[in-house]
A and B are shown apart, each in its own frame.
Chain A
Amino acid sequence: MHSTLVRAQNVFGFLTTVAFFVAGLVALSSLLYPADVNVDVIGTNNVKIAKGRAHQYYTSKVQEYAVLYFDLEADLSSLFNWNTKQVFAYVSATYPGSKYTDNEIVIWDTILPSRSASKLILKNERAKYSINDITGKFAGRDNVTLSFHWNVQPHVGRLTWGAVGLTKGVKFPGVERPGGKKEAAK
């Protein structure tokens, strides 16, 4: 009954039980820290549409790209508590269409590893990713809105998401003349 093996088994069993309960309590403790995110500004007043090629893929299809600059001021420090591993922050553009009526694409994102890096102040920031539609056509789309989102990644437990700061719908302009072509293809 009291062999080394039984003792080892008991210790290991106790260890896993304790680890399980501590992890459960840590996961639940996230509920004690309500998120209070401040987003002061999100907006864009600088959008151009230009034709270009997506040269990172094996295709020579010419499509319309939006070249977009935006402003953002946000303070995400309240999302950091002892069970926060990182916060993934991103800006998305939502727009309607005819065949695909419901579209949303991420135009910029960043990983915030700690509270000290949790304040975002972006002025006239260029979109990080190329902005093109599944249909290839973009010009003249009405009611394009930008929104700011975050995803809290815990050390253990539930992942949470949040979003604020929908801009009023802006209209994408018509296609630029060949002068703007180079910039769009970049």
Chain B
Amino acid sequence: MDALGLSKLRHLKPRQLLSQVLNFALILSTAFMLWKGLSVATDSPSPIVVVLSGSMEPAFQRGDLLFLWNRNLELDSPPTPGTRVGEIVVYNVIGKDIPIVHRVVRKHQGPKTPLHLLTKGDNNHADDTELYARGRWYLDREKEVIGSVVGYVPFVGYVTIMLSEHPWMKTALLGIMGLLVIVQRE
């Protein structure tokens, strides 16, 4: 108990303790509301994504951060500007959990059919037909795509890749934080 610096907590009055807890909850809920607010503004379930593969190199490298916009569905009226060929979209294939960032190379739409897209990575030779669900030749814009890329920040997301690919780093990070708590005690 003492080694973790928790003895400090015991000396706090209940009111102080509660306000500490409230503070912590405020920080968490602010972060959560910012994320969800951005999600509502962009109409995307995941408005910021980290690039995981090199299939769009040299445009995007692993760890780059992408900002998405998902209000360009163009579902009712084809003349309005919407998802175009050449845009870069992020999609989740139904039944698979990995978001893929690739460029739209074909688009087929009719009044009674959903907007069909075919995608391809700039750095890949073949298009993505083999990545799609079995028997599917095209993506459904509304059901599978979570947004089009509009903004780019390099490298910032690499931290998340490191943490998920090297689990020991998570332990190290927690260890350092624990150490700081002890060191910080005056």
A161 touches B86 (CB 8 A): yes
- 8 cross-chain pairs, A with B, having the tightest CB-CB distances, nearest first: A100-B110, A106-B105, A100-B108, A102-B109, A134-B108, A105-B106, A104-B85, A102-B78
Given known A105-B106, A111-B122, contact A5–B183 (CB-CB < 8 A): yes
Q: Which candidate, A41-49, A68-76, A83-91, A169-177, is the interface stretch facing chain B?
A: A83-91
A159 in the interface (beta carbon within 8 A): yes
Chain B neighbourhood of A144, CB < 8 A: none
**Interface positions of B from 72 to 88, Cβ below 8 Å from A:** 78, 84-88
| Contact among A92, A133, A158 for B85, CB-based, below 8 A | A92
A129 in the interface (beta carbon within 8 A): yes
A116 in the interface (beta carbon within 8 A): no
A153 touches B130 (CB 8 A): no
Sorting the interface of chain B by its residue count into under 10, 10 to 19, 20 to 34 or 35 or more gives: 35 or more
A104 touches B84 (CB 8 A): yes
**Distance between A49 CB and nearest chain B CB, rounded to angstroms:** 18
B154 in the interface (beta carbon within 8 A): yes
| Contact among A99, A111, A129 for B113, CB-based, below 8 A | A99
**Distance between A141 CB and nearest chain B CB, rounded to angstroms:** 13
- For A56, give the chain B residue with the smallest CB separation: B126
B108 touches A102 (CB 8 A): yes
**Distance between B173 CB and nearest chain A CB, rounded to angstroms:** 15
Per-residue CB contact flags for chain B residues 112-152 toward chain A (1 = under 8 Å, else 0) read 11001010001000100110000001100000000001111
| Contact among B85, B103, B111 for A105, CB-based, below 8 A | B85
If over half of B's interface residues share one DSSP class (helix, strand or loop), that class is named, otherwise mixed; here it is mixed
What is A's interface to B at a CB cutoff of 8 Å? 5, 23, 56-57, 85-86, 88, 90, 92, 97, 99-106, 109, 111, 113, 129, 133-134, 149, 151, 153-159, 161
- For B58, give the chain A residue with the smallest CB separation: A86
Chain A neighbourhood of B21, CB < 8 A: none
Chain A neighbourhood of B111, CB < 8 A: 101
B163 in the interface (beta carbon within 8 A): no
- CA distance in complex: A158, B148 (Å): 12
Chain A neighbourhood of B152, CB < 8 A: 153-154, 156-159
